[in-house]
Amino acid sequence: MLSRDAEHLYWLARYIERAENTGRLINVNVEMMLDYPIDDSLGWEPILEAMDSKEDYLSGHKHYDEANVIHYLSRERNNENSIASCLHNASYNSEFIKDDLPRSAMEELNNIEMNFLKEMTTSVSKRKRAKNIYEVISSSQRFFGIISDNFSRGYAFEFLRLGRFVERADMITRIIDSICNAEKKEGTIDLSTLEWVNLLKTLSAHQAFRKVSRGEIEKESVINFLFKDDSFPRSIYRCLTIIHKSFLNLPKNKDALLFIQKFLANLSRSRIGKYENTKIHSFVDSTQKKISSIDQIIQKSYFNN
């Protein structure tokens, strides 16, 4: 297939997955602050840091109040990682390969953007805002469900899958990092179990986690599960395994397969659950750089021709 078509498929999937996970992060953080009210800066600054958006946000805002941060993360068109921008970019990429995608998938994508943009034009209550974001999450899952059930396996499918799981792995590390950043803020209340429960909720991981861990929900077991579990679709290890499977079905895969095999081996050997938050942050940073390296391998091997 043409390299430019492969690139559009890859970024279509990345942007849809990014919109979904940004929505998850917003809604669960709102719920956590309702359950355990703390200063807005302690609740929202760590998320902006984890998203590498703090500097950009502060260029237009002075305070980390909930309304401004949520607007920035969801509606702000000048923020390239906001939900609105992600949906716009997904739609843009889909225009180039729409004849290759199932019609129902294109309809779902158009509905996601149309419904979200319609709500952007009005001021909405917190409840309505949460509902709108949940709809983005649900629509994203429906889109990928349609792809899974109605799209022939081949190179096009693999580039969609690569985009989805590279983005997912990256976003999982950022979500974990936001919790660690919140814990280390000076003066932060000890949220202990609550933070880790909400982290599991963010990733729809609570039920799956409980099947493998019957004890108290605490940092070590949650971190180990989200990094190293080999069966849960939102663990880093599982994302990398799926990425590895996609490369097996693509040409020019030698560098990618070797890199991911080493990545998985290092992840398996790590004792990240026992690390202090500062060391977890360093490990997360290293993991993000490795995920970025996978993206660079994809760009070099398939798109820069």
**CB burial string 182-215: b at 16+ within 10 A, e below:** bbebeebeebeeebbbbbbebbebeebbeeebee
Residue 66: pLDDT band (50, 70, 90) is confident
Q: Where are the beta strands (DSSP E) in the chain?
A: none
Rounded mean pLDDT, 241-257: 97
10 Å CB burial of residue 248 (0-12, 13-18, 19+) is exposed
10 Å CB burial of residue 239 (0-12, 13-18, 19+) is buried
Distance CA 297, CA 259 (A): 9
- Is residue 10 within 8 A of residue 163, CB to CB? The reply is yes
pLDDT, tens digit (0-9, with 9 covering 90-100), for 99-148: 999 999 999 999 999 888 877 665 667 788 888 899 999 999 999 999 99
10 Å CB burial of residue 125 (0-12, 13-18, 19+) is exposed
pLDDT, tens digit (0-9, with 9 covering 90-100), for 11-41: 999 999 999 999 998 987 887 777 665 565 5
10 Å CB burial of residue 216 (0-12, 13-18, 19+) is exposed
**What does DSSP assign to residue 302?**
I
pLDDT, tens digit (0-9, with 9 covering 90-100), for 265-292: 999 999 988 888 788 889 999 999 999 9
pLDDT exceeds cutoff 60 at 191: no
Residue 90: pLDDT band (50, 70, 90) is very high
Percentage, residues of the chain above pLDDT 70: 91
Percentage, residues of the chain above pLDDT 90: 64
Q: What is the pLDDT of residue 186?
A: 46
pLDDT exceeds cutoff 70 at 188: no
Rounded mean pLDDT, 217-239: 94
Residues 190, 196, 199: CA angle, nearest 5 degrees: 130
SS3 of 229-254: CCCCCCCHHHHHHHHHHHHHCCCCCH
Distance CA 263, CA 260 (A): 5
What are the structure tokens assigned to 184, written together?
């280390």
Radius of gyration of the chain (CA): 19
Q: What is the pLDDT of residue 122?
A: 59
Q: What is the pLDDT of residue 120?
A: 66
More confident residue, 304 or 90: 90
Could you write out the DSSP letters of every residue in 270-296? --GGGS-HHHHHHHHHHHHHHHHHHHH
Q: What is the pLDDT of residue 83?
A: 96
Q: What is the pLDDT of residue 242?
A: 98
What are the structure tokens assigned to 186, written together?
């000076």
More confident residue, 159 or 177: 159
Return the SS3 of 76: coil
pLDDT, tens digit (0-9, with 9 covering 90-100), for 195-217: 888 889 889 999 999 999 877 88
Q: What ranges do the domains of the chain cover?
A: 3-303
Q: What is the pLDDT of residue 31?
A: 77
